[in-house]
Chain A
Amino acid sequence: MAANPDETASQRPTLREKYDNYIGGEWVAPVDGGYFEDTSPIDGSVLAKISQSNQKDVDLAVKAAWKAAESWNKSSATERSNILLKIADRIEENLDMLAAIETWGNGKPIRESSLVDLPLAIDHFRYFGGAIRSESGESSDLDSTRVTMEVHEPLGVVGQIIPWNFPILMAVWKLAPALAAGNCVVLKPAEQTPISIHALIEVIADLLPPGTVNIINGFGPEAGKPLATHPDIKKVAFTGETTTGRLIMQYASENLIPVTLELGGKSPNVFFDSVMAEDDAFLDKAIEGFVMFAVNQGEVCTCPSRALIQENIYDEFMERCLKRTEAIVMGDPLEMTTMMGAQASNDQYEKILNYMDVGKQEGAEVLTGGEKFDNPAHPNGYYIKPTIFKGNNKMRIFQEEIFGPVVSVTTFKDEAEALAIANDTLYGLGAGVWTRDIHQMQAMTRGIEAGRIWCNCYHDYPAHASFGGYKKSGIGRETHKMMLNHYRHTKNIIVSYDKNKLGFF
C-alpha cells in the first residue's frame, strides 16, 4: 500500500538536526565549522546537517584514538569480547529504530534493513567476540632448551573508510574485527549515508571506552585523504572502487602500512540445464537465485549482475525468471511488502540510467525494465525498474559494475564455455553455480576465479565464512577470524632455558 507523503513523513525516525564528529567519546563540532546536508534517496528530502571535516578534525580523532589505545591495546581478550557481546545485545534492543534510519538514509527496503542488515551486524559482533575467546597463539619446542612463541599484538590505531550501500553492516564488518584485535579506530562513513552509523554509536556509546571508536564525517578529498595519509594510522581498510583503491594503496605506500581493499565485481550466476530436470522446490530456489540481482537495488559488490544460462533451457528458464522479476513489488521502502527501494543517490540513479543507454546502444535486448520507476509513494525519490538485458559478455554492461538492479544475461553451450565466460572479467569477488550434478559443481567452483562461490544459493553472508576478492576485486578477507590478522602484528618470541653460553665469543 502506498502511503501518502504526509503519512510517510510521520513514520520518520527522530533524527538530530545535525550530526557532529564523534571524538574521544564526545560529539565535537568540526574545527572550521562547516556542515553539509544529507538527503534521503527515498524522497529527496533533507534528513540532517552533517559535519564537513578536514585534516584538523582527523588530527584530533587520531590523537584521541591513540590516547585510548594506551589501555585498549593492552586490554584482555575477555574484556574486549564482553564489550562486543554487549554491543550486539544493545543493537538488538534497538533494531527497529536503527533499521528505519538505515532505510531512510540509504533507500533500501525496510524488510532488508530489519531482516538482513541489522541481524547480520549483530551476529558479526558476536562472532568476533567469540573468536577472540577461542583462539590461541602458537608455541613450538625447538629443542630441549628453546621454545618459540607466535603472539599477536594490535596495530594500534587504524583508519576505515566505509561505503554507502550497507552503511551499518559494512562499518561493522570492519569495526568488529578491528576492536576484537585490540585496535582503536578512526572511521569515516560515506558522505551519502552517515546518519545510521551515528545512530548506532549513540546506542552503544556508554559501552565503549572513550576514544576507542571515533567517527569523522566529510568528503573524500577533504577528510578521507588526511585519514588515509596520516602518519599515525597503522592500517587502512577501504571498500569502494578501483581508482580510489589504487589511491589508498598509493597513500599507504607513503607510510609503508598495510591496506585491505574490497573493490567490487561483476559476479557470474551460472545456471546449468539440470536445474530444470524437475519442476520442484530446487527449481523454484534457482529462479529466486536469478532474481537476487534485485537485492538492495543491485547496490551490492557481489550483485549477480551476469547470468549465464545453458542454452538448451534458456527459453523455458527465462520465461520463469521474467515472471518472477516482474513480480517484484516496488513502492514505499518503509512498507514490509516492498521488495525494492530507492537507489542511494541522484548520481547513482543517473549513472544506472546511462548504463541502460549504453546497453541499448551496444545492441543488448531489454527483456524487462530498462527505465526509471515513477514511485507514486515518493515522486521525488530515485527509483529504477528491475532490468534484464540479453547480450554477450564482451559488452560493457557485462564487464562494468552498474551497481543497480540490472542483470545481463547470456547463454553457454557446455561447462567449458560457462567457465570461460565466467572468468572473462577483470574482477573476481563472487559467483553462483546452480546444478544438480555434484561433479559439475566441483569443476565449476574450483574453476571460477573468485573469492566467494555460492553453490546452489546466492547472497548469503554469514560470519565465519571469509569474503574477499581475486583479481581486481581487492585484497584481504573479511567476515572471518582470519581478518583479525589483518588488524594485528605477529610477534615472535624465542626463549632459551639454557644457562650456558654459545661459546662463540
Chain B
Amino acid sequence: MTVERVSITLKARQVVDKLRAKHGELIFHQSGGCCDGSAPMCFQKDEFLIGSRDVCLGEIHGCRFYMASDQFEYYKNMHISIDVSKGCGSSFSLEIPLGLRFMTISRIFTDEEIKHVHPVEFRQAI
C-alpha cells in the first residue's frame, strides 16, 4: 500500500472543479518566500514552466502537485492536504478572483506511513 504525500479536501475539490470548468487542465505549485509565499498556487497546465529540478509530489483531483526540490527537503516527512479558505491573496493563483485562497495543511507522517510513502517524480521522468 502506498501512502500519498498530498491530498485535497472536499471543499477544495469543488473549487478545482469550478476553475477547471473555466480554465481547463490545472496544476499546483507550492510557493516559498514572502507575502503570499508558503502557499500553493493553482495555474492552468502549461502556464507555469515546471522547472527541470522541480519535483512532483503526486496528483490531487486530477492536478499534479509540484514543488522546488530544495524546498521539498523540508516536506519529505510531511503529508500535506490542500484546503481552501476565504481570502484575498495577491499572487497569480487562479482562485483569487473568487475571493478564496488555497492553503496547505501539514501533518508529519507516522513511522509506519513513512515506510510506504509515494516516491516523488522529477520532471524529466514524466
Chain A: residues with CB nearer than 8 A to chain B? 36, 39, 52, 163-165, 190-192, 219-222, 224-225, 239-247, 250, 262-265, 299, 301, 345-348, 350-351, 354-355, 357-358, 361-362, 394-396, 399-403, 426-427, 472-473
Chain B: residues with CB nearer than 8 A to chain A? 29-39, 41, 43, 47-49, 51, 68, 70-71, 74-75, 78, 85-94, 96-97, 99, 101, 103-108
How near does chain A come to B27, taking the closest CB pair, in angstroms?
A: 11
Q: List 30 A-B contacts (CB under 8 A).
A: A163-B35, A164-B35, A190-B35, A191-B88, A219-B97, A220-B90, A221-B96, A240-B36, A241-B31, A241-B32, A243-B31, A243-B32, A243-B37, A244-B91, A246-B49, A247-B47, A247-B48, A250-B49, A264-B32, A265-B34, A301-B34, A345-B89, A347-B86, A347-B87, A347-B103, A358-B78, A396-B75, A396-B78, A401-B34, A426-B70
The reply to whether B92 and A246 contact each other, CB–CB distance below 8 Å, is: no
Closest to B87 in A: A347
Q: Which residues of A contact B71 (CB under 8 A)?
A: 400, 426
Given contacts A244-B31, A264-B35, A346-B88, 12 further A-B contacts (CB under 8 A): A191-B90, A221-B94, A240-B91, A241-B37, A241-B38, A243-B41, A244-B36, A301-B35, A345-B89, A347-B101, A354-B106, A401-B38
The reply to whether B74 and A242 contact each other, CB–CB distance below 8 Å, is: no
Contact pick for A244, options B41, B85, B86, CB 8 Å: B41
Instruction: Give the residue among A241, A361, A395, A472 with the most B Cβ atoms within 10 A.
Output: A241
The reply to whether A246 and B90 contact each other, CB–CB distance below 8 Å, is: no
Instruction: Give the residue among B86, B91, B108 with the most A Cβ atoms within 10 A.
Output: B91
Q: Which residues of B contact A299 (CB under 8 A)?
A: 35
Q: Which residues of A contact B32 (CB under 8 A)?
A: 241-243, 264, 400-401, 426, 472
Contact pick for B74, options A222, A262, A357, A396, CB 8 Å: A396
Q: Which residues of A contact B93 (CB under 8 A)?
A: 220-221
Contact pick for A264, options B37, B39, B48, B86, CB 8 Å: B37
How near does chain A come to B62, taking the closest CB pair, in angstroms?
A: 20
Nearest 9 interchain pairs by C-beta: A347-B87, A264-B34, A241-B37, A264-B33, A243-B31, A347-B101, A220-B92, A241-B33, A190-B90
- Tell me whether A396 and B41 are in contact in the complex, defined as CB-CB below 8 angstroms, given that A241-B36, A242-B32 are known contacts: no
